[in-house]
Structure 1
């Protein structure tokens, strides 16, 4: 039992490090996307359903169109649109699929004419067993493209792609049993 706890602790630490590093590297905060997720009524539409919320053959599709209006400190108006679609389903008694696609088309983010776009694909497969215990695996791809301009003339395109593969488990229990 102690070995299992040590292994789970190490796995959780590794997941935390990978996710934190990826988030810091990608710089999602720069897109001001986090402000979309602050309200709980909005968050309920974005987060995947938990296993057991859908019966076999049922599904949930959630869509969202957002307009983010940002007045920068340099008084340049960098507004952008954001499109989101999510799909959750239970395809067998204990198997669940969660997927989502988040897309921001090219938008001008500086007075020099630089333009950026962003898209994110998430897939997660979950297997539930023995009450609330779960095993899951997933994939996330985050792509950023930036068209840079110099004095109004196109300079080059900068592309960043980050692929994150993950596998994990979640166990519930009690120390009092």
Structure 2
């Protein structure tokens, strides 16, 4: 029973055998009430959290709070890889449009194609809704760039403005510590200084 609990914790990203063992022994020796609360919260989440019918993020309701918010513009659609990307963008407070979550990126070698990312749903959304701008916010990885390129090509048939989030040197970052790809992105994505 203890070993199966260890293995269950190892299913979490970044949790190895020793960390899982520390979690298990902490809950069993020092915080059994916390263990029961964790178990209940996990069961509740597994039973009630699903994907939003519109944007595909995680939600307890049929449509998430962002999709049902009438103060958000539906003419802008930001394409992200994961629900955590939405959380990061929302913390900035700079975006007031809606989202579409891919839940991954194109990776034919791993068997992840357009259908697995819901790109057929995205294409249908573009056909039926008045989207004026697609903001590609996939990660700055090879897979993220390939996915952004695929979506860009798909969107061109709808005459929709396609933009890409900027990549480059972060605020507070120093050039000497940035890698060459980050510097190259920063230079190619430069804009006029006012």
Q: What TM-score do the two structures reach when normalised by structure 1?
A: 0.23
Query: When you count strand as a share of all residues, which structure comes out higher?
Result: 1
Q: What TM-score do the two structures reach when normalised by structure 2?
A: 0.22
Query: When you count helix as a share of all residues, which structure comes out higher?
Result: 2
